[in-house]
Structure 1
Amino acid sequence: MTEDVSIMKDSQPEAIYLKDYQVPDYLVDATDLHFELEPKATLVKSRLSIRRNPQAGSGLPPLLLDGVDLELLSVSLDETLLSTSEYQVLPEGLSIPVEKSEFQLEIHNRIKPEENTSLEGLYLSNDMYCTQCEAEGFRKITFYPDRPDVMSKFKTTIVAPMDHPILLSNGNEIERGLYEDGRQFVTWEDPFAKPAYLFALVAGDLEYVEDSFTTTSGRKVKLQIFTEAKNIGKCDHAMRSLKNAMCWDEETYGREYDLDIFMVVAVDHFNVGAMENKGLNIFNSACVLASPETATDSAFQSIESIVGHEYFHNWSGNRVTCRDWFQLSLKEGFTVFRDAEFSADLNSRAVKRIEDVSLLRTAQFAEDAGPMAHPIRPDSYIEITNFYTLTIYEKGAEVVRMIHTLLGAEGFRKGSDLYFERHDGYAVTCEDFVRAMEDANQVDLQQFRNWYSQAGTPVLDVTDSFDQSKGKYRLIIRQSCPPSPGQEEKLPFHLPIKIGLLGADGADLAINEQGDTETVLQLKENEQVFEFSGLAEKPLPSLLRGFSAPVKIRYDYSTEQLLFLMRKDTDTFNRWDASQRLALNALSDLQATFRKGEELQVQASLISAYREVLQDKELDLALVAEILQLPSEQFIAEESSSIDAEAIIAAREFVRKAIAVELFDEFHKRYLELNTNKTYSPNASDIAQRRLKNTCLSYMCVTETEDALDIAQTQFETAGNMTDSAAALAVIINHAAEKRAQDLIREFYERWKADTQVVELWLSQQSCSPKRGTLENVRALMQHPAFEMKNPNKVRSVIGGFANRNFKQFHKKDGSGFEFVAEQVLALDKLNPQISARMVIPITRWKKYSGDLGGKMRAALQKISDSEDLSKDLFEVVSKSLI
């Protein structure tokens, strides 16, 4: 049976609605799978123990099973082979009439892993068999009720030739042996019931590293990380991260691991970062493999975070899972919050918060303001893979963080304990999570639930007043939220606003009788007034400390006040945020000047502020590096009501070069101080030192002087780690003369062409370069032997890098960048609909662009829409974007 996913002009795919949810008619108590692996024709045998769901009502409706791209061989009911007239093959599944409330169903079918370019279900990555079943990939393996609220105990037997010696699945290994024909088999059994989306299978010629972890209760767990032989030396950091995550989850949440073994497999071809399959996590190779020679600091930190994230899913996602896919943020938002706290505890908490908020403000806020805007619990979808979004993950995590802020650490732990205890082994809803928090703490979060049902980014307008004679200070906060698709009017959100009040000397003032210097205001109305008494002077408010709510905040800070906050605020996040606001204001003024055709000038106070930060030896190096970063073009665009790409680029380049020229000597001096020859370590302090050093190098090279570029080339040639090598290569690509740049590009490739992850970095640096990342160069990279259209990482490096991170070249006036993306999206859609739907996002926000750019974006989008046979994934994104 083959799925027809084409979208005809007169037949649009149907949306699925949360309001239509119904419990499954049948449950599967046990699933016994048998695989005989062959690349062109893998035989799958499934034996299911099925019973009528007592919650589904009376009668015996037909059993409906999902199935896509399957060759059906036979169907047997209670050992009786059914004829083709006794069941019905549907366009995407199977319907079988039944006469008993409990029965055994056996199905045999074939699949073609070699031809599966969607990377869903069972497919080949190089010569390795692997699976990806979330969200609806299991239906590409066999006919099954492929929904998260059908939970079953799985037993899996894998049969394969001896050239695939490693055969893995969920749970614990219970048997292995050889057949007379020379093939081997291994049987795995998972004692915990799980939905089909958590099923996993891996088979290949792999090596592994092994360690162990002893839980609090004394159980010894075997830990294994599998990869190709050439990468076996790059697993140590992931193993350390895994052990740290297991320890942290026990200490912070009281959660122990529950199987005898925990396995991780690195896979080159993978649509996402990693997958939390029970006991057998499958990872994109880029998210698990690292060595100082081949991985940057950001890769080390990302691996630590992702390994933690997938491990934490063992409880927040596996032991307690989603009832339906509308509840996706139940597991993802909660687990992103958990992995963020894990990373913050192991590294710089301030910098981690800055990084997370930067992503939220730049990309998720744009999503909130775009055509695909949706609540963290959507009301409907056409293709669920389109809703693995920053809103579900990052905004979902911010919603969980707000509950943590409102309840406090102790109250949140009480709530999570009750949640895990109450729902262990069940598929539940976001409502169940919030109710556990309420019941454990005896609080009412009814209004807070608006975060789950309303889309958009709330805006807070703040004004204040001070009565000197009474020593009384008043903050007036008004909240609003712009309309989003299907939601013109919004109810007030429940918002925790963490604030402090600064005196003239920069010290935090006491804001209540208890002497507290910080408090959390609970905003529930459209407008509220908060009063503070006993103040001898008008304070300067430090608003939204730690970014306590995912909102935009507007308070009329003067330049002098922002400079003061940047220098004095005791909240490190708000120090950084003040620097961003200061730069944004300057950049906004320069954009207006550029549009008038007048001469651009940078305020001396801005240069002075950066000089002061650069020379501050008491400030955390990581924070210095963050403050010195100008807002990205993408963030500037998101802050603009109408995006003028040319003005944004001109203003930012002018300011960046002015800072570089004025502070060249200071950057050089700090660079020399930080450029030590210490042995590489991915610890927080060393990462901070390299981050600031390479920030200084980047500014120096903006001047494009030979002295600066010589320093960069020396660093490139002598670097003992990939962080320094890649940083030097990037500034040379962006700022050096063509010959110097091309010589180093070739040298780097020749040195690292055998390492897949380094080559992906090499591709990305070129496609992201505003100077040489031109469309012609990007097209040339797509013809390079290192590029592979079927590999999502390579696609993200080149096409995604150009469209998402090369603001200058992508937004060329002639619209060629948009046409290129449309062309590639259509080609990708035939291979991998998930990736095509993600690559089209940069041209869906055409309505925000001024002048001809918006029209050219829309034309590129229309070209896609006019094409035949769009996948459901791409159709949904494009059709919503053209409304």
Structure 2
Amino acid sequence: MYREGTAQLIQRADYTAPAFWIDTVDLTFDLDPAKTRVLNQMRVRRNPDVAAQPLRLDGDELNLARVLVNGQGTSFKMDGSQLVLENLPEGHEAFDLEIFTTCNPAKNTKLMGLYVSNDSFFTQCEAEGFRRITYFLDRPDVMSNYSVTLRADKKAFPVLLSNGNLVDEGTLEDGRHFARWVDPHKKPCYLFALVAGQFVCREQRVKAPSGKEHLLQVFVRSGDLDKTEHAMNSLMASIKWDEQRFNLSLDLERFMIVATSDFNMGAMENKGLNIFNTKFVLANSATATDMDYANIESVVGHEYFHNWTGNRVTCRDWFQLSLKEGLTVFRDQEFSQDLAAEALKDNPTAAASAKAVKRIEDVRLLRTAQFPEDAGPMAHPVRPDSYVEINNFYTVTIYEKGSEVVRMMQTLAATPASNISGREGFAKGMSLYFERHDGQAVTCDDFAQAIADANPGSALATHLTQFKRWYAQAGTPRVQASGSYNADTRTYTLSMSQSCPPSPGQDHKEPFVIPVQFGLLGADGREVLSTQLLVLTEATQSFEFKDLSLQAGEEPVPSILRGFSAPVVLEKDFTATQLLTLLAHDTDPFNQWEAAQRLCLNAALTAVAASDAPTHVLDAALVQALRTVLRNPALDAAFKDLVLTLPSETYIAEQLEVVDPQRIHAVRESMRAQLARELHDDWAWAFEAHSENGAFSPDPVSSGRRALSGMALTMLCLDARTTGDEVWPGRTYQCFKDAHNMTDRFNALSALVGSGLELAGDALQRFYNLFHNEALVMDKWFALQAGSTDRGGNILSLVRNLMLHPDFHIKNPNRARSLIFSFCSANPGAFHRSDAAGYVFWSERVLELDAINPQVAARLARALDRWSKLAEPYRTAAHEAIKRIAAKTDLSNDVREVVSRALSN
């Protein structure tokens, strides 16, 4: 049996509207870590569109003390975890319902509902955490007006926060105080938030274009205030961007961010009171890397943008989760791209490169995380049809693939006949969406319809019904492309066909609407056909391009899927010469990078299939092409870093029917060693040319230079391990000691540890001595060691030893992810062992975490989603490890669903 009750399969087709509406909610909290008292006073009325039935309220781990209807006691019963009220007033007049409960936040290790972290109170209510605070209709389509009164000991909890606007505060008897908050906007209960504790605050007042002034606040624990400037700047930039891009303004007197170190997610968009994982708030140059700065900007933007796409308009049910998450990921991606370009607006070429870098980073995540999910046992449509545990569907499919679906809408919203670009058309569609649905809980269909209706004559409007298959069909479409050129008529014909493999519950897929951005290059790299938008809607289609300006005997080189215009796998037999031409000359930066990836991937797959272990995986032409990229003064450093980064082991594995993780690891390590060896002088030049950046700034140019110099150090140390050279390891260690910022320091440390050099041990200890009081930096320290290259089977024993380290705390999600996930999910070369020891460790940790925090455990359980592709002996050993977990009778629904689906694969 399930520890949390019998699992129930929830079906999207079974959706019915709630039988009751809750118009107002007045909550009073008497906060105490061991026994918090919650008085919930609601104004409730029957839904006239639903047949009369009892009121069933959700609850979880609550102690019920009192239930009153219109001030009088009433009978009730419990049905599992639900409170059922049958003797309610007839008719559709509103009535008062009062429920008094208590809970124990100090013992809430699940970090859902109301919990205590570092002597402060926090809440996390999405998706179904509000039922752990009080009995309620815990579903997103029940939207209410909230008033909240918080009472607590003033010395222990001087700061009392909730959603909306502060309307009253004062002192009480016995050293207690209170604060009353009123949210002027209706919201579902998953957006409720409460924070109480000891915090310091950075404040900033900003004035909207309307002239209205707003107070922005970032609350952190004492000692962290100097790490909040970037988060505040990101928040201000988000507000400005949303006003300029979509004419969406901040709608509250104040907007608050609070950081906590114990948080299951990255952040939460509760109305006006965003609760963040410290990882996405705290940064200064001494403790945070460029990647940390970029992530903070992105996540702060994401949660702020939810204020409209998720809060003002929310999802009708959890099957529509991508309505808010996919759309808001798209918005935060566009925000980061626009900010990068704005910083370089005086140099259009550099601005385009900076935007391309962000796009490439997003696509890499999609390919290495979402594509495998789409091909595995947890595959599901962007709008799922069923689930057992909704927490398991906060996935890269909902978020990242959902974002790609929105991006395709923007592309297809263009109306050439009216000279309206996709960007302009999409903004029109967003305006119509809010005009129609502000204050409502709606569906993905409602959003798509608004974008299409705002752009009549667009490809989206023409193909809307078919386009919505992106919401309904799981799996990654595959586009097969071939081209032919008729020199006599100077006509190029591009033929494309599409297919999509079966996925759980979906054996047959209908054709998608796939926007394909396409161009043609001459053999010398000149563009003979500028970017064209092709819309693939049939199983097979052909497109002709006439009167091309090509010389006699010259064949055009196709540039297909520019900007990664659709989340598909492109299957095209490019010749090595064509790919080298694209790498050297394509005017689309994404396809330049893609050409390098294809060349390296093809070399890797050839080597994996070979009978021996080649030391020269990359041919001379490819090495020379990569050298040319590295030395090219016209290319941005961040772009060079991406081009010179080899395809990941996970991405290589996804191209194979049968996966030998150790073979893939050995081949990729050989590729790295070859690049380190054959480009040694070029790496030395790259380091010398990019290592000095002056005062620290996380801007795109400076961070790109640091990324490339860090890669150069890694390669030089890797080569030194083979040659025995002591110069570059010594210089790297000196760089580590002398660094003026965390990016350079951590790049040097990573170069030493990743190369397995003797100096790595001293560097790790020195790093620990410097930063052992900085929790987020210690997360990096644990993760670096758990994710390092396994040279002799030592990483697992190291990870086991690190679990005994006094600074390792498995109850903290960040720390658990830094060590356990870095090993099991991000280090395939060390995790997949022929003796199955890695799988044993994984199964032990899944079960240990499940008893503490099922959400975190379920995410770890997904490390073996793709076990059925493994070669022997890994396949059988992985299968046995999954079965060991499944055999436990007290699993949470979260983990049970994951392992059951894995076993059914």
Aligned-pair CA distance for 1:7: 6.6
Which amino acid is the alignment partner of residue 797 of structure 1?
S
* Residue 469 of structure 2 corresponds to residue 450 of structure 1: yes
User: Residue 851 of structure 2 aligns with which residue?
Assistant: 830
| Superposition deviation, residue 786 in structure 1 | 1.2
Q: How do 1:470-549 and structure 2 match up within 5 A?
A: 470-510=489-529, 517-537=530-550, 538-549=555-566
Matches within 5 A, 1:229-308: 229-308=222-301
Shift of 1:641: 2.2
Q: Structure 2 vs 1, CA of residues 415 and 46 (structure 1 numbering), >3 Å: closer, same or farther?
A: same
User: Given that residues 89 and 95 in structure 2 are in contact (C-alpha distance below 8 angstroms), is that contact kept between their aligned partners in structure 1?
Assistant: no
- SS of residue in 2 equivalent to 1:56: coil
Following TM superposition, by how much is the alpha carbon of 1:598 offset from its aligned partner in structure 2, in angstroms?
A: 6.5
Structure 2 residue aligned with 1:810, among 810, 823, 831? 831
Between stretches 645-654 and 596-605, larger displacement belongs to 596-605
> Secondary structure of 1:188's partner?
strand
Counting matched residue pairs gives 864
Whole-Å separation in 2 of the counterparts to 1:463 and 1:673: 42
Q: 2:580 aligns with which of 563, 581, 584?
A: 563
AA partner of residue 85 (structure 2): I
Q: In 2, distance between residues paired with 1:574 and 1:434?
A: 29
Equivalent AA in structure 2 for residue 521 of structure 1: L
Match of 1:155 in 2: 147
Instruction: Specify the SS of the correspondent of 1:794.
Output: helix
1:762 corresponds in structure 2 to: 781
How well do the aligned residues superpose, as a CA RMSD in angstroms?
Answer: 1.2
> Does residue 143 in structure 1 map to residue 135 in structure 2?
yes
* Residue of structure 2 equivalent to 1:396: 402
- CA contact 2:607–2:613 (8 Å) conserved in 1: no
How far residue 397 of structure 1 moved from its aligned partner, in angstroms, is: 0.1
Paired with 1:774 and 1:736, the residues of 2 have a C-alpha distance of 11
Residue 370 of structure 1 pairs with residue 364 of structure 2:
no
Select which of 726, 738, 745 maps to 2:746.
726
Taking the TM superposition and a 5 Å limit, the aligned residue runs for 1:302-381 are 302-347=295-340, 348-381=354-387
1:91 matched to 2:80: yes
Q: What is the match of residue 3 of structure 2?
A: 6
Deviations 1:226-277 (A, max 9, x none): 0001111100000000000000000000000100000000000000000000
Identity among equivalent pairs (%):
47
- Does the 8 Å contact 1:120/1:131 carry over to 2? yes
* 1:597 shift after superposition: 5.7
| Residue 433 (str. 1) matches residue 447 (str. 2) | yes
| Corresponding residue of 2:430 | 416
Distance 2:756 2:878 in 1: 31
Q: Distance in 2 between matches of 1:624 and 1:505?
A: 22
Is the aligned partner of 1:176 residue 2:169?
yes
One-letter code of the match for 1:27? W
Whether contact under 8 Å (1:709, 1:736) holds in the other structure is no
Residues 643 and 850 of structure 1 are in contact (CA less than 8 Å); yes or no, is this contact kept in structure 2? yes
- Worse-matched range after superposition: 533-542 or 181-190: 533-542
Residue aligning to 1:119: 111
1:844 and 1:784 mapped to 2: Cα distance?
29
Residues in 1 aligned to 2:274 and 2:282: alpha-carbon distance in whole angstroms = 14
Higher alpha-carbon deviation: 601-610 or 475-484: 601-610
Q: CA deviation at 1:90?
A: 2.2
AA in 1 matched with 2:241: W
SS at match of 2:664: helix
Query: Which amino acid in 1 is paired with 2:827?
Result: N
Letter aligned with residue 858 of structure 1: H
Asked whether the equivalents of residues 147 and 195 of structure 1 are also in contact (C-alpha less than 8 Å), the reply is yes
What is the distance in 2 between the residues matched to 1:601 and 1:551? 27
2:349 equivalent in structure 1: none
Q: Which residue of 2 aligns with 1:56?
A: 50
Q: Give the match for residue 459 of structure 1.
A: 478
Given candidates 685, 701, 707, the residue that maps to 1:691 is 707
The residue aligned with 2:20 is: 26
Post-superposition, which runs of at least 4 consecutive aligned residues in structure 1 deviate over 6 A? none
How far does residue 736 in structure 1 lie from its aligned partner after superposition? 3.9
In structure 2, what is the Cα distance between the partners aligned to 1:823 and 1:51?
49
Partner Cα distance (1:222, 1:689) in 2? 36
- Please say if residues 600 and 618 of structure 2, whose CA atoms lie closer than 8 Å, have aligned partners that are also in contact: no
Aligned to 1:513: none
Q: Give the Å deviation of 1:599.
A: 6.6
**Counterpart-to-counterpart distance in 1, 2:654 and 2:751:** 26
Residue number in structure 2 paired with 1:514: none
Contact 2:518–2:560 (Cα < 8 Å) also in 1: yes
Distance verdict in 2 for CA 1:635–1:232, change over 3 Å: same
AA paired with 1:40? A
* Cα separation, 1, equivalents of 2:295 and 2:267: 12
Q: 1:289 to 1:229 in 2, by over 3 A?
A: same
Matched residue of 1:69: which SS? coil
Of 788, 794, 799, 1:778 maps to 799
Aligned to 2:872: 851
AA matched with 1:532 = F
In the TM superposition, what whole-angstrom CA distance separates every residue of 1:405-433 from its partner, at most 9, and x where no partner exists? Answer: 11111111111100011100000000000
Question: Helix, strand or coil: the match of 1:54?
Answer: coil
Q: For the Cα contact (< 8 Å) 2:161–2:194, is it kept in 1?
A: yes
Alpha-carbon distance, 1:596 to partner: 4.3
**One-letter code aligned to 1:648:** I
Structure 1 residues 375 and 105: CA distance shift in structure 2, 3 A: same
* Alpha-carbon contact 2:607-2:614 (below 8 Å) kept: no
Letter in 1 for 2:134: T
The amino acid across from 2:179 in the alignment is V
Which deviates further from its counterpart, 391-400 or 562-571?
562-571
User: Using the alignment, how far apart are the partners of 1:540 and 1:459 within structure 2?
Assistant: 21
Structure 2 partner of 1:186: 179
Give the equivalent residue in structure 1 for 2:35: 41
Contact 2:615 2:674 in 1 (8 A): no
Q: Secondary structure at the match of 1:49?
A: strand
SS at match of 2:65: strand
Runs of 5+ consecutive residues of structure 1 not aligned to the other structure: 511-516
1: CA distance, partners of 2:79 / 2:805: 43
* Corresponding residue for residue 808 of structure 2: 787
Following superposition, the deviation at residue 135 of structure 1 comes to 0.2
Which of 124, 127, 133 is matched with 1:132 structurally? Answer: 124
**Counterparts of 1:557 and 1:870 in 2: how far apart (Å)?**
49
Checking the alignment, whether the CA contact within 8 Å between 2:2 and 2:889 is kept in structure 1 is no
Q: Give the 3 Å change call, closer, same or farther, for CA 460–731 of structure 1 in structure 2.
A: same
The equivalent of 1:384 in structure 2 is 390
Give the Cα separation in 1 of the matches to 2:662 and 2:300. Answer: 40
Per-residue CA deviation, residues 99-126 of structure 1 (Å, 9 max, x unaligned), is 2332100011000000000000000111
Secondary structure (helix, strand or coil) at the match of 1:518 reads: strand
CA shift, 1:677, in A, is 5.2
Contact 2:615 2:670 in 1 (8 A): no
Corresponding residue for residue 99 of structure 2: 107
**Which letter does structure 1 place at the counterpart of 2:527?**
D
- Tell me by how many angstroms 1:611 deviates: 1.1
Question: 3-state SS of the aligned residue for 2:143?
Answer: coil
Q: 1:844·1:857 contact (CA, 8 Å) conserved in 2?
A: no
SS at structure 2 position matched to 1:840: helix
CA contact 2:7–2:893 (8 Å) conserved in 1: yes
Structure 1 residue aligned with 2:351 = none
Return closer, same or farther for 1:460/1:324 CA change in 2, 3 Å cut-off: same
CA contact (8 A) 1:734 1:771 kept: no
Q: Output the CA distance in 2 between the equivalents of 1:483 and 1:213.
A: 52
In the superposition, the TM-score normalised over structure 1's length comes to: 0.97
Amino acid of the residue matched to residue 419 of structure 1? Y
Could you list the per-position Cα deviations for residues 276-328 of structure 1 after superposition, in whole angstroms to 9, with x for gaps in the alignment?
00000000000111000000000000000000000000000000000000000
- Report how far residue 737 of structure 1 moved: 3.5
Q: Which amino acid aligns with 2:575?
A: S
Counterpart contact for 1:735–1:771, Cα < 8 Å: no
Give the corresponding residue for 1:716. 736
Q: 1:458-511 deviations in whole A, cap 9, x for unaligned?
A: 00111111111111111110100000000000000001000111112211113x
Q: Distance in 2 between matches of 1:563 and 1:733?
A: 33
Matches of 1:838 and 1:181 in 2, distance apart? 45
Instruction: Report what 2:658 is aligned to.
Output: 642
Q: Distance in 2 between matches of 1:439 and 1:665?
A: 58
Secondary structure at the residue paired with 2:102? strand
